[in-house]
Amino acid sequence: MSRELSPHVDRLLPADPGVRELARRLYDAVAAAPILSPHGHVDAALLADDKPFPDPATLLITPDHYVLRLLHAVGVPLDALGRGAAPADPQEVWRAFCANWDVFLGTPVRYWFETSLSEVFGVTEQPSAGNADELYAHIDAQLRTAEFHPRALFERFRIEVLATTDDPADDLAAHARLRDDPSFHGHVLPTFRADRYMDPSAAGWTIAIAELSEAAGTDAGNYAGLLEALRRRRAAFRAAGGTATDTGVLDAGSQPLTSADAERIHAAGLRGDATTEDATAYRRNMLYRLAEMSSEDGLVMQLHPGVIRNHHRDTLARFGPDSGHDLPDVAAFTRPLTPILNDFGTNETFRMVLFTVDETAFSREIGPLAGFYPSVYAGAPWWFLDTPDAIARYRRSVTDSAGFTKTSGFVDDTRAFCSIPARHDMSRRLDAGYLAALVSEHRLTEEQAFALAHRFVDDIPRTTFRLPGGTASAS
């Protein structure tokens, strides 16, 4: 079988020749537009330090739970992928990946890899057991050159805005270094993610509270102090350029508690005896409070509920979190968000972007909510749904009830730095195909489609996430 690697110029565009021709023109119009990445997991220190990447496996395989997941599913142990207690030889990790390359057929992981191997690293052959060492050497050599240092790639990728994900206790020193460095021209914005502080029954909550107290310069050892500490850190994030928060919770339940109840549960958490019911009530109160704070300070609230984290007990024990066994749950938004939307849903400062891994919510809840509440935006397909077919279903499910302007624009959500351009490229191709199909069905004019293609990669994400720059009126 041919092992050539050369991504087709028309990949992901619609098959119908007439539709494709227009899709290609729409894609070409935005293919080189700067990348706005308002939600992701790249570490700001990577760019602040600008040190060379260590090796191909540590860059491309070991940290990417999309890759780990599928290799594990066909029987490759996570130890062999560099996730075990003992360090793995990166060249062996790379070999395991190449030998199982065909496992990724039909998945977006394969697509992202083909594009980035080809376009970032100039690889011209499909990985295989036979060429693994050769590819490793080829990529590794490049990683040692200046053109492949993080900042050089950042520029080459045309990233204009990159939002990171940061703990409130983070001092944002790396962000400051970047901001203060006249030689760096991108916007690297911190995102406030307070997940660690929401569950007083969780392992690590007490430590988190202590770290936050230290970072905020105020005692978060009681509930009022925690709110104050979070407010201080939000201000610091805003001062550092942050425009958004992110929250990943098991469900979107939101219900304010009285201060007395919240204080009681907070104290129980510190003593280590918060009950499950109390912890749930506390978490739902905290989600409500985070919305309240967003309605005060205007940080855009991203909500990512509905993932069951660490489904496999032994894998968690041996390999830790983010090792591929987080799994989607049934989503609900309309009912659980009632308290938040009743109190802040029409507040002009408040803005909330809803993401789901249960696509049934697209037409049933997310589109309709974004189609009434001025504060609500329909988040792009996320995680298990950031795939060609699910993205198409998202467009065909949400636009009907929310139009185009209440969608968020694409988010890459990735910790795989080198996949960023491939992911945005995929989104641009799919949107081009979608718009071309609408034109071909006479549901849009060609002019409208071109205008929308531009808006999808520019003013729509800028407005949704209140990003700097651009010609769009911030709202």
Least Å distance between CB 347 and its own copies?
A: 11
d(CA 347, CA 345): 6
Structure tokens at 174: 């790396």
d(CA 471, CA 286): 36
If the CB atoms of residues 149 and 325 are measured against its own copies, the closer one turns out to be 325
If the CB atoms of residues 260 and 317 are measured against its own copies, the closer one turns out to be 317
If the CB atoms of residues 69 and 187 are measured against its own copies, the closer one turns out to be 69
Least Å distance between CB 80 and its own copies?
A: 13
Least Å distance between CB 300 and its own copies?
A: 16
If the CB atoms of residues 147 and 400 are measured against its own copies, the closer one turns out to be 400
DSSP β-ladder status, 352-354 and 327-328: unpaired
Least Å distance between CB 157 and its own copies?
A: 22
β-pair partners for 189: 163
The Cα-based distances of 376 to 49, 300, 326 in angstroms read 37, 10, 26
Which of the 8 DSSP states describes residue 15?
S
If the CB atoms of residues 238 and 396 are measured against its own copies, the closer one turns out to be 396
Least Å distance between CB 397 and its own copies?
A: 7
Q: What are the φ and ψ backbone dihedral angles of 103, each rounded to 5 degrees?
A: -60, -30
């520029």: which residue's tokens? 155
Q: What are the φ and ψ backbone dihedral angles of 187, each rounded to 5 degrees?
A: -105, 115
Least Å distance between CB 249 and its own copies?
A: 16
Q: What separation, in Å, do the N-terminal and C-terminal C-alpha atoms of the chain show?
A: 54
Picking from 441, 359, 444, the residue whose alpha carbon sits closest to that of residue 393 is 359
DSSP β-ladder status, 159-163 and 376-378: unpaired
Least Å distance between CB 374 and its own copies?
A: 5
The length of the chain is 475
Least Å distance between CB 188 and its own copies?
A: 30
Order of all β-strands in the sheet with 35-37: 35-37, 159-163, 187-189
Picking from 229, 169, 225, 177, the residue whose alpha carbon sits closest to that of residue 193 is 169
If the CB atoms of residues 165 and 463 are measured against its own copies, the closer one turns out to be 463
If the CB atoms of residues 294 and 397 are measured against its own copies, the closer one turns out to be 397
The Cα-based distances of 413 to 163, 334, 335, 449 in angstroms read 10, 24, 26, 26
If the CB atoms of residues 53 and 104 are measured against its own copies, the closer one turns out to be 104
